[in-house]
C-alpha cells in the first residue's frame, strides 16, 4: 500500500532527543556526584565491555557545538533530561550552582537558536546517594525527595520551558529493572518490588504534573511511556486474548494511571493473584488522580507479539529478555506470564541486529489507538534505529538503513495525523550518538556521529551522517513527500 505525506501542520516541532547520563559525560565534574547509572555502567564495562557513563558523548563540553549542529539541521525542538545528581549531588539538600548553570547555558543556547526545549525531569539516573541512603526507588522516601528536586527545576526554568515530561519509561523500568534502577542484590528476587517502584513513580509523576500546573502558566506536562503495540501471533481467539492481556499489563497499566488516575482492572487482578501488586497507602490514588496529564510522550522502537501461555505448571513467570551482542537471534528469552500471555517473535517482521522488530505501521497503529482511548495530544519523544555505523576515512558516515527507517516511521505518523491524531512533536532518538542503555556506544542512533569506542573516548569529534542532511531536508520541506 503506498502512501506519501503532505506537509505537516505549521508549528509542528521537528526535534531530536537525548538523555543526560547517555550524552553528557562529565560524570564527576563541577560538583556532580554519581547517579545510579554511573555505578550500573561501571559494572556494564567490567562485565560486558560496554562504555562507562563517565564521558559518553562529552556533550557537557561540546554542547554549544551540538546545538549549532542541531540548528544546522533545522531542529525546532530538543528533548533532553536533567541529571538530578548534577543539580543536587546528594539527592537532597545543597544545590550545585555549577549544575544549574550548565542547564541554564544549554537552554539559553537552544532558545538563541529558536529550538524549543522539551525537558524530561528523570531518565533513569537517580542520585547514587539516595540508593545508598535508603535503596532508591524501593523506598517511599524517594517521592518526597523527587518533589523537592522537581520543584527546584520547574521553578528555575519555568519562564523558558513550556513542555515538561516527568519520568522516562516506567513501563521499561518494570521490565528491565536492574538495568534502569540499581537494585541491591538481596532484593533482586522480589518481583513485587518492580510494581512497588512503579507505584512510587506514579506518585512522583502526579506530583510533577501538579507542580507544572501550579508553577508554569501555559505549560504542558505528561509522562513518557516506552510503548510497543502488541499483536497476537495468530488469529486464534486465545492468542488475541493473550495480546490483550499483554497490552493491559505492559501498556494500559501505565496509560490508565496517566489519563484515568487508576490501575487497569485486568492487570491489577493478575498482579494481585500472584502477590505482585503494589502496596497502596490511603490517599495515594487521590494524589495520582489529581495529577492530570496534558499530553503524552511516546518512545517507540518496535512492535511486539504475544501468544497464549498455559498455566499448567510447566512454565515459569519471567520478564523480558535482551540481546547483548548485536547478533540477530541472540535474545535471551521472552517475557512469560503463565495463564496470561507469553511474548514471542513476530515471524512477519524483519528486525535490527538486536532483535527489535522494524514496524513503521506499528507507530500509526499505536498513535491512533492511544488517541482513540485518551484523546490527548501526543509527542514522539523517541524513535530510531540502533545500528553499527562506519566512519569512513573521508569523515562520511553512510546510514541509508536509518534514513529508510525514519522516513517510513514519519510517514506512518503523518498518516495517523491525517486520521485525526493530534501530534505536537517528533523527536527521534537520537540527536547525536550516545551511550545505549543496553549495548554500549557501538550501537548508534544519532544523526551526528561521535568518534569514540567503548574502550576509548578519544576526542569525541563530531561528524555529520548522511541522515543528518536527509533530516535537514525533511524539516525544510515540513515533512512533505515521504513514503511509507
Active-site positions read 169, 382
Give the whole-angstrom CA distance, residue 134 versus residue 148. Answer: 17
171 or 191, CB closer to ligand BG6? 171
Mask for 285-314, x = binds ligand BG6 (CB under 6 A):
--------------x---------------
Among 146, 429, 463, 468, binds ligand BG6 (CB under 6 A): 429
* Region binding ligand BG6 by CB under 6 A among candidate stretches 97-105, 230-238, 264-272, 432-440: 432-440
Residue 22 has which C-alpha cell? 547517555
- Check binding of 19 to ligand BG6 (CB under 6 A): yes
Say if residues 73 and 472 touch (Cβ distance below 8 Å). yes
276 or 387, CB closer to ligand BG6? 387
Closest separation between CB of residue 186 and ligand BG6, Å?
Answer: 26
97-112 vs 59-73: helix crossing angle, rounded to 10 = 10
Give the whole-angstrom CA distance, residue 468 versus residue 462. Answer: 12
* Region binding ligand BG6 by CB under 6 A among candidate stretches 134-142, 158-166, 168-176, 210-218: 168-176
Say if residues 44 and 50 touch (Cβ distance below 8 Å). yes
- Check binding of 24 to ligand BG6 (CB under 6 A): no
- Check binding of 244 to ligand BG6 (CB under 6 A): no
- Check binding of 386 to ligand BG6 (CB under 6 A): yes
Query: CA distances (Å), 314 to each of 231, 337, 352, in order?
Result: 24, 12, 31
| Burial (CB count within 10 angstroms: exposed 0-12, middle 13-18, buried 19+), residue 243 | buried
Q: What is the separation, in whole angstroms, between the first and last Cα of the chain? A: 8
Among 129, 172, 380, 421, binds ligand BG6 (CB under 6 A): 172
Say if residues 321 and 327 touch (Cβ distance below 8 Å). no
- Check binding of 438 to ligand BG6 (CB under 6 A): yes
* Region binding ligand BG6 by CB under 6 A among candidate stretches 106-114, 167-175, 205-213, 325-333: 167-175
Give the whole-angstrom CA distance, residue 130 versus residue 249. Answer: 29
Q: What is the dihedral of CA 255, 197, 354, 35, to 10 degrees?
A: 120
* Region binding ligand BG6 by CB under 6 A among candidate stretches 100-108, 397-405, 418-426, 437-445: 437-445
Give the whole-angstrom CA distance, residue 461 versus residue 176. Answer: 32
Closest separation between CB of residue 18 and ligand BG6, Å?
Answer: 9
Question: Binding to ligand BG6 (CB under 6 A): which residues in 213-242?
Answer: 226
DSSP code at position 279: P
- Check binding of 382 to ligand BG6 (CB under 6 A): yes
Closest separation between CB of residue 112 and ligand BG6, Å?
Answer: 27
Say if residues 441 and 434 touch (Cβ distance below 8 Å). yes
Question: Which residues of the chain form contacts with ligand BG6 (CB under 6 A)?
Answer: 19, 22, 168-169, 172, 226, 299, 382, 386, 429, 436-439, 443
Amino acid at each position: 500500500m503506498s502512501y506519501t505525506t503532505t506537509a505537516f501542520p505549521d508549528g509542528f516541532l521537528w526535534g531530536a532527543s537525548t538523555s543526560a547520563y547517555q550524552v553528557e559525560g562529565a560524570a564527576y565534574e563541577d560538583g556532580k556526584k554519581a547517579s545510579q547509572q554511573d555505578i550500573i555502567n561501571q559494572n556494564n564495562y567490567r562485565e560486558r565491555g560496554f562504555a562507562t557513563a563517565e564521558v559518553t558523548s562529552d556533550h557537557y563540553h561540546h554542547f554549544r557545538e551540538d546545538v549549532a549542529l542541531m540548528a544546522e539541521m533545522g531542529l525546532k525542538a530538543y528533548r533532553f533530561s536533567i541529571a538530578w545528581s548534577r543539580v543536587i549531588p546528594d539527592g537532597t539538600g545543597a544545590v550545585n550552582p555549577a549544575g544549574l548553570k550548565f542547564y541554564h547555558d544549554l537552554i539559553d543556547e537552544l532558545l538563541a537558536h529558536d529550538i524549543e526545549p522539551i525537558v524530561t525531569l528523570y531518565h533513569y539516573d537517580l542520585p547514587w546517594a539516595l540508593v545508598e541512603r535508603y535503596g532508591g526507588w524501593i523506598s517511599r522516601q524517594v517521592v518526597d525527595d523527587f518533589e523537592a528536586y522537581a520543584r527546584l527545576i520547574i521553578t528555575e526554568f519555568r519562564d523558558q520551558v513550556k513542555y515538561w515530561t516527568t519520568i522516562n519509561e516506567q513501563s521499561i523500568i518494570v521490565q528491565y529493572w536492574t538495568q534502569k534502577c540499581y537494585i541491591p542484590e538481596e532484593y533482586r528476587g522480589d518481583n513485587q518490588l518492580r510494581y512497588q517502584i512503579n507505584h512510587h513513580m506514579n506518585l512522583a509523576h502526579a506530583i510533577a504534573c501538579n507542580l507544572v500546573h501550579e508553577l508554569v502558566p501555559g505549560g504542558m506536562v505528561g509522562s513518557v511511556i516506552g510503548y510497543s503495540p502488541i499483536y497476537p501471533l495468530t488469529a486464534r481467539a486465545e492468542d488475541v486474548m493473550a495480546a490483550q492481556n499483554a497490552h493491559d499489563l505492559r501498556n494500559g497499566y501505565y496509560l490508565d494511571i496517566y489519563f484515568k488516575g487508576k490501575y487497569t482492572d485486568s492487570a491489577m487482578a493478575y498482579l494481585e493473584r500472584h502477590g505482585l501488586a503494589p502496596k497502596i497507602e490511603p490517599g495515594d490514588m487521590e494524589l495520582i488522580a489529581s495529577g492530570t496529564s496534558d499530553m503524552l510522550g511516546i518512545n517507540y522502537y518496535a512492535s511486539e507479539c504475544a501468544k497464549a501461555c498455559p498455566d499448567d505448571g510447566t512454565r515459569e513467570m519471567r520478564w523480558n529478555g535482551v540481546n547483548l551482542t548485536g547478533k540477530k537471534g541472540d535474545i535471551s528469552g521472552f517475557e512469560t506470564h503463565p495463564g496470561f500471555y507469553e511474548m514471542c517473535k513476530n515471524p512477519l517482521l524483519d528486525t535490527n541486529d538486536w532483535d527489535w522488530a522494524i514496524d513503521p505501521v506499528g507507530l500509526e497503529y499505536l498513535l491512533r489507538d492511544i488517541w482513540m482511548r485518551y484523546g490527548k495530544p501526543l509527542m514522539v519523544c523517541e524513535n530510531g534505529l540502533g545500528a553499527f555505523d562506519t566512519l569512513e576515512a573521508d569523515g562520511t558516515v553512510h546510514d541509508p538503513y536509518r534514513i529508510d527507517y525514519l522516513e517510513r516511521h514519519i510517514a506512518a505518523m503523518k498518516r495517523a495525523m491525517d486520521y485525526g491524531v493530534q501530534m505536537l512533536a517528533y523527536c527521534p532518538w537520537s540527536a547525536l550518538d550516545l551511550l545505549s542503555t543496553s549495548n554500549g556506544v557501538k550501537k548508534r542512533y544519532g544523526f551526528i556521529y561521535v568518534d569514540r569506542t567503548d574502550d576509548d573516548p578519544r576526542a569525541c569529534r563530531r561528524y555529520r551522517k548522511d541522515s543528518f542532511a536527509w533530516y535537514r531536508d525533511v524539516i525544510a520541506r515540513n515533512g512533505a513527500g515521504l513514503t511509507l
